[in-house]
Amino acid sequence: MSPNLLTIDAAAVDWARAQFALTAIYHWLFVPLTLGLGLIMSIMETRYYRTGDDFWRRTTQFWQRLFGINFAVGVATGIILEFEFGTNWSNYSWLVGDIFGAPLAIEGIIAFFMESTFVAVMYFGWDKVSRGFHLASTWLTWLGATISAWWILVANAWMQYPVGCEFNPDTMRNEMTSFFDVALSPFAIDKFCHTVISSWVIGAAFVVAVSAWYLLKRRAAEREMALKSLRIGAVVGLVASVGAAVSGDESAYKVAEVQPMKLAAMEALYNGGTDQSLTAVAWVNPFRQPDYTTEGEAPLRVAIPNGLSILATRTVHGFVPGVNDILNGYTLEDGTVVPSAAEKMARGRAAIAALAAYRQAKADGADEATLSTHLAALRADMPYFGYGFVKDEAELVPYIPVNFWAFRIMVGLGSLFILFFALILFLEWRKRDVSQMRWLLMAAIAMLPCAYVCSESGWLVAEFGRQPWTIQDMLPVSASVSDVEAGAVAATFWLFLTLFTAMLAVEVNIMLKQIKRGSEHNS
């Protein structure tokens, strides 16, 4: 097996990536609202259960209707997303299907059936089951959606940090050696916490924005619902925003540990070292990849002294590698030598050659000693197997402008949400009538699209930052695609773009109609 024998249609790779990105971006418009709104409506029904006040029942039913509309469309896009692994990424699915498929199967069999079962009771069981059982069904619907997100994020985290597996040269597949290492890896836990908590921010922003619209329109029938919903949304939003900041810091620490190139791209750090400052803002041209081999510090840079060293190493003077350090090789403070990109590529090609020699020797009926020699050579260089398919070390550098600016948009908007939700609660605490503050209500509506921009920016960093890898250091994107014509993938890309846009337009239209009807119309 030689990388030179692997024929790669670059156009097919680009279209497959574009199609998957399209589907993922649209799907993520629905998932975080499901997770966030599900939590808030569960809190509201808990108020109804404890007080018996019919106001809370009507309010819960109102938000549940909006939840249901979003939930249905999200399921449709999610199903298409999983099918694309088989249609466009069959090489990837073949190599790691035994590992990657396990969390997806659990998600479909347990979590999805759990939420789909209890969502029926939640919608149709108001007058058919006890209040306690109905409350449990609402919470379990949200819990099922959250568990579903857990397994999807475990699968994604494994692609970022592959653990609990071993390559079998006889089957040509990576096989799982520890389910618990995959399911409970520190990277997966951090990714789950950060992603789900940030989804609560979107749910809170949605509730606050809809409530603000009612107050702006001075809908007397909805005033009480809007004010109390706004208060609950602000509490959830503030807690979630702070939680997202804390979990995001831990996620960045893990990225520095296992994906140093991603961190370097996020910081536009070309030449690393000790006592590294954290860039607040700098001018990085968003339209071109910088010549990192010759460029120094980005112009107009404002930075926090030693901030990056603290973030990446938890020490003030810690060493943080830059792009050039990673490409040229470097030595860690504990004496560990990290090979250069050229050495990794050479060892990757050696691993591919050893695999080919092993399989040929086995086909020829070679003795155990010969096979063991080839296996030993393969295992020695297997950590760099994926580098054998990389032709130019420049491919190992992700597109820096996207990572740099997306990271700052995410952090900047996340900080803004903390201030915004805190301001609402401060005004409530001071007994100020927020319904009369037109500027605040208009800002609340504007914060909803900002929440989505913040969330999507986080995913841009996560996925653009690990390029060119489908699986970090194991399988590059160019070796993961199916043997399909670029034209076929392009045709389905435009088909899905049209379909998803139509679905989004329909969902928004239905939601707007439901919002205009208000909480007094629960039929």
Pull the structure tokens for residue 195.
């992603």
Tokens of 441: 């209500």
Coil, strand, or helix at residue 261?
Answer: helix
Q: How many whole angstroms separate alpha carbon 157 and alpha carbon 139?
A: 26
Q: How would DSSP label each residue in 380-416?
A: HHGGGGGGGG-S-GGGGS--HHHHHHHHHHHHHHHHH
Domains of the chain, residue spans: 24-184, 204-483
Judge whether 236 and 40 are in contact, CB under 8 Å.
Answer: yes
How far CA 141 is from CA of 101, 200, 219, 235, in Å, comes to 24, 15, 31, 22
Tokens matching residue 232: 């609950």
Q: Residue 243 burial by CB count (10 A; 0-12/13-18/19+): exposed, middle or buried?
A: middle
Q: Which residues contact 123 (CB under 8 A, 6 or more apart)?
A: 64, 68
**Residue 211 contacts residue 229 (beta carbons within 8 Å):** yes
Backbone angles phi, psi at 168, to 5 degrees: -105, 110
106: helix, coil or strand? Answer: helix
Q: What is the DSSP letter of 288?
A: S
429-454 burial, b for 16+ CB within 10 Å, e for fewer? eeeeebbebeebbebbbebbebbbeb
Nearest Cα residue to 438 out of 215, 205, 210: 215
List, in sequence order, every beta strand (DSSP E) within 139-202: 165-168, 173-176
Contact by Cβ (8 Å): 59, 67: no
What residue has token string 């990056």? 308
- The pLDDT, as a whole number, for residue 523 is 46
Q: What angle do CA 78, 148, 240 make, to 5 degrees?
A: 105
Spatial distance between the Cα atoms of 176 and 165, rounded to a whole number of angstroms: 4
Distance from C-alpha of 247 to C-alpha of 266, rounded to nearest angstrom: 17
Residue 209 and residue 29: Cα distance in Å, rounded?
16
Interaxial angle between packed helices 10-51 and 131-160, expressed in degrees from 0 to 180 and rounded to the nearest 10: 150
- 175 φ/ψ sector (left φ>0, alpha ψ -120 to 50, else beta): beta
Per-residue pLDDT of the chain (523 residues; tens, 9 = 90+): 444 445 567 788 888 888 888 888 888 888 899 999 999 999 999 999 999 899 999 999 999 999 988 887 777 777 777 778 878 888 888 888 888 888 888 887 777 777 778 888 888 888 899 999 999 999 999 998 898 889 889 988 999 999 989 999 988 888 899 999 998 999 999 999 999 999 999 999 999 999 999 999 888 888 899 999 999 999 999 999 999 999 999 999 999 989 999 999 999 999 988 999 999 889 898 888 888 888 777 888 888 999 999 999 899 999 999 999 999 998 887 778 889 999 999 999 999 999 999 998 988 888 888 889 989 999 999 999 999 999 889 999 999 999 999 999 999 999 999 999 999 999 989 888 888 899 999 999 999 999 999 999 999 999 999 889 999 888 898 888 888 888 888 898 999 899 889 988 988 999 998 898 876 655 4
Distant-in-sequence, close-in-space partners of 150: CB < 8 Å, separation ≥ 6: 107, 111, 192, 196
Task: For residue 165, give the DSSP letter.
Answer: E
CB neighbourhood size of 498 (10 A) = 10
What pLDDT is recorded for position 98?
A: 84
> Given the structure tokens 């140093």, which residue do they identify?
260
Radius of gyration of the chain (CA): 25
37: nearest Cα among 191, 222, 210: 210
The pLDDT of residue 1 is 44
Q: Amino acid identity, residue 422?
A: A
Coil, strand or helix: which one is 173? strand
Entry pTM: 0.90
Q: Are 268 and 284 in contact (CB under 8 A)?
A: yes
C-alpha dist (Å) from residue 176 to 99, 103, 162, 191: 5, 12, 10, 21
CA distance 153 to 155: 5
The neighbour count for residue 361, using CB atoms within 10 Å, is: 16
Q: How many angstroms separate the CA atoms of 212 and 189, rounded?
A: 35
* 313's tokens: 């190493």
The pLDDT, as a whole number, for residue 117 is: 82
- Measured distance CA(341)–CA(344) in Å, rounded: 5
What pLDDT is recorded for position 219? 84
